[in-house]
């Protein structure tokens, strides 16, 4: 099916109904620390998004840092290029960001096909022909528009 979307194939451990929304999908990205909310990028007198990201990189299991799916965003998965200083990882030195979508897997190869189709479309959109991609809906998870 060419209309497969992220919510159709994602790993969403906290929902029983497969008709879940994309916000229930397990996505590992610093964007989750901001609840996938573009308005969080707007600074206020009280805080700014960098404060939130730094706090969550230091304590990803803090209740205020949980991603929309209800679980943590693991810093070692969400950022890259950080150095180990004296045996301790310093995520504040990260030079890269990662976006990881966890998808359902199955031993039955036929049941793997929807996830493979979505991954192929996402990879083509992200790397090969970005002008082909539909515009991202603000507030949605990148990649769900397929």
Domain with 5, as residue range(s), is: 1-9+105-146
Instruction: Confirm if 6 and 146 have CB atoms less than 8 A apart.
Output: yes
Please check whether residues 31 and 94 belong to one and the same domain.
yes
What value does the mean pLDDT of the chain take? 82
Round to whole Å and give the CA distance between 140 and 137. Answer: 6
| Reported pTM | 0.77
- Number of domains the chain contains: 2
pLDDT digits (tens, 9 = 90+) for 37-74: 888 888 777 778 999 999 999 999 999 999 999 999 99
Please check whether residues 95 and 125 belong to one and the same domain.
no
- Asked if residue 15 is part of any domain, the answer here is no
Please check whether residues 31 and 75 belong to one and the same domain.
yes
Joined together, the tokens standing for residue 106 give 């199955």
């Amino acid at each position: 099916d060419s209309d497969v979307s992220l919510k159709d194939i994602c790993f969403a451990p906290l929902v029983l109904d497969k008709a879940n929304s994309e916000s229930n999908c397990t996505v590992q990205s610093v964007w989750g620390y901001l609840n996938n909310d573009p308005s969080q990028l707007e600074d206020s007198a009280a805080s700014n998004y960098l404060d939130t990201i730094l706090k969550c990189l230091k304590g990803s299991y803090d209740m205020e840092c949980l991603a929309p799916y209800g679980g943590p965003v693991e810093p070692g998965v969400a950022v890259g290029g950080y150095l180990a200083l004296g045996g301790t990882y310093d995520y504040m030195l990260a030079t890269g960001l990662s976006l990881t979508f966890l998808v359902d897997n199955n031993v039955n190869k036929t049941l793997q096909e929807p996830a493979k189709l979505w991954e192929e479309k996402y990879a083509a959109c992200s790397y090969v022909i970005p002008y082909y991609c539909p515009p991202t809906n603000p507030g949605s998870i990148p990649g769900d528009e397929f």
